[in-house]
Amino acid sequence: MIVNSKKESTITSNIHTILIGWINLIQEKYLEVLKLLREGSVDGAALSSSLGVGRMKMAGRLANLVKWGYVTETKEHTYAITEHGLEVLMSSLTPNHNEIRDLIGEIGKLEGKICEVEYPIDSYRLDVAWKRIKAGNPSHAFEVHLHGDFFEALTKLKHAWDKWNSKPFLITTEEYAEKARLLLEGSFHEIQEVTRIIGWNKILQLHRLEKDLARMKTELGF
């Protein structure tokens, strides 16, 4: 029974890998749907209109995505991307610095923060700063760094922490996260305990959840 269970697990994993590759490399039309659903739950008619696709064709695409477990359908006939669907989408995307930066700003606004991009700090500029009040100092400082040398990004975060006691966040890739940790253990050990290193894909996930929550609050009249 244990052997069979392992075989079933391997088969399931292999099927999932094949589907990811198939959708990413061959079926761009499905990725277009997932990209829209990343922003939040949408009904079929809105998806058809946004992509310029007939409703019957869109219904077929959505039926397949639901069958594969990448999309769920609600009782109100709206569609939402699942964690598996988001994994497929993430594997197809190349992270973009400005897009991630702007999403962090949107998340802050949805959380009720005052958000500014390219926020000046002496001779530097932080990618994103969150404030509790407009006239106040940044409570959160964000740097998006997807490649290259982390030294300047961490220098800006340390400067914001020293000057304003801003909570520092470094948004990066899985590949560079370990390199950033090594720098925090050495040259930037003063902010090691307070700095959060976050994968860029987590920002996309959080943005989607925040949009869904905001939409639900609006629907409920909160």
Q: Which domains does the chain have, with CATH numbers?
A: 2-92 (1.10.10.10), 97-206 (3.40.960)
Q: What pLDDT score does 3 carry?
A: 47
Q: How confident is the model at residue 170 (pLDDT cuts 50, 70, 90)?
A: very high
Q: What pLDDT score does 5 carry?
A: 55
Q: Smallest Cα–Cα separation from 118: which of 109, 128, 108?
A: 128
Tokens 């292999």 belong to residue: 14
Q: How confident is the model at residue 88 (pLDDT cuts 50, 70, 90)?
A: confident
Q: What is the DSSP letter of 199?
A: E
Q: How far apart are CA 89 and CA 35, in angstroms?
A: 7
More confident residue, 22 or 120: 120
Q: In angstroms, what is the C-alpha Rg of the chain?
A: 21
Q: Smallest Cα–Cα separation from 101: which of 198, 176, 200?
A: 200
Half-sphere exposure of 196 (CA within 13 A, CB side): 12
